[in-house]
Amino acid sequence: KPYQHKSLFSGLRMAAIDYRQLEQNIESVELNIRNRNATADARRVAALYKQFCALTFNAGELRKLRNENAALMKRAAQMSAEERSSAVAEGKRIKQQIADLEAELAAVEEEMEREAAKIPNATHPDVPIGEESNATVLEVRGAPRDFAKEGFEPRDHVAVGEALDLFDFDAAARISGAKFYFLRNAAALLEVALVNWALNECVKQGFTPMTAPDLAREAVVSGCGFNPRGEGSQVYTLSDSDLCLVGTAEIPLGGYFADQLLEKSALPVRMAAVSHCFRQEAGAAGAATRGLYRVHQFTKVEMFVLCAPEDSETEHAQLRAIEQRLFDALGLHYKVLDMPTHDLGAPAYRKLDIEAWMPGRGAFGEISSASNCTDFQARRLNIRYREKLKDNRYVHTLNGTACAVPRMILAILENFQNSDGSVTIPEVLRPYMGGMDIIRAPSVATAAVK
């Protein structure tokens, strides 16, 4: 087992996949790569693994010869000058062969694992094949509000929020650039309320509440299946450093148990963390993404689970149930989607998205997702558990969004706006808003602080 003693932080590369399983199921792996529209060459990886195994065997044989030569040299005093010279020359030759072979082995291993890292996770058999439009609707909850019956046309969250002095995009653009924002007045209180409420609800479900660093090492980011650098990366990186701004608390929570061996009795581990999230969102533009819908920085409460492999589908269903309880409590109209292969990314075995109706946008918009990543992240992060003595296995990891604050604020403003321009605060949030039940335009004195 050539990867048994490697660790994420040792500088040694982790095994991205089970290479023996790849060899035995090469055709199904290739089909999965095509279905997920990924760029990977399974046969190249299998060939590199075969070469790696052969080189590893040859290196072992050479080390045996080196040991035999070393044992022979212990009797150098009993040798003739010719025998001693021959043994010394043979030792040097073996030493050079080992050095050459180890250099070749390291190069092959590096390429093998670089190519293997491109292979996506396996896919749940119920996941639909193809593009996002092929998503399967698993459930629809609630009903859209009949604004026409109430006698007014719903506005989008930007118009609602600007009239109530809830945010300032222009000032943020001057300071930080496009897709940043200031939350003001009741919107600032609403962010704190949403975070506290969501975190408390997670605690009721057995999750450990946490805060998480906003920075993570590249090894942790890539270990979670995100591309920290290069074309198409959504990750902000720090120059002259291996640190990245995290796009989700999933990353630091995944890294929390990197290189750890857990007892099975300690599973499942359930954590819920508050963090800032940073995403480049390259290429995202247009009316559908304006305002708070797609931004570079936001606050989120993220759930993260480590469990035994046989429990991961049950834990996935539990994450979905928690998310739905939260959105039911807010009174949102939403649908649950089983996302198709093109939308899974590399880590997810299965991903369930929840989209809420946003009447100002005139469309559903994603507010949450829950993913079962099986052992994809655990392999890269080296997170294992002890099944029994001398039987250590990789855990399964899962993640789910309890509350992505900007999308929640958007959904609340658009769904609970009133004809007079005010917004009714969902009842479950009022205790966290100091008893405020309606957001109204601030006083003239407050509005002047701009």
Positions annotated as catalytic residues are: 279, 294, 366, 369, 407
Long-range contacts of 310-316 (CB under 8 A, 24+ apart): 311/267, 311/268, 311/396, 312/372, 312/374, 312/396, 312/398, 313/372, 315/268, 315/372, 315/396, 315/398, 316/350, 316/352, 316/370, 316/371, 316/372, 316/398
Nearest residue to 22 (alpha-carbon basis) of 34, 30, 10? 30
Nearest residue to 442 (alpha-carbon basis) of 231, 260, 238, 186? 186
Query: How far is Cα 19 from Cα 59, in angstroms, rounded to an integer?
Result: 20
- Measured in whole angstroms, the distance separating CA 314 from the mean position of its chain's CA atoms is 19
Q: Give the residue carrying structure tokens 């593009």.
A: 131
Q: Give the residue carrying structure tokens 């010869």.
A: 65
Query: How far is Cα 197 from Cα 389, in angstroms, rounded to an integer?
Result: 42
Collect all residues with Cβ–Cβ distance below 8 Å to 270 and sequence separation of at least 6.
205, 206, 207, 208, 303, 304, 305
The continuous run of DSSP H or E covering 221 comes out as helix 218-223
Expressed in angstroms, the distance from the first to the final Cα of the chain is 63
Q: Which two tokens stand for residue 206?
A: 């057995």
Nearest residue to 307 (alpha-carbon basis) of 259, 272, 264? 264
Three-class SS of residue 292? coil
Nearest residue to 194 (alpha-carbon basis) of 448, 429, 435? 429
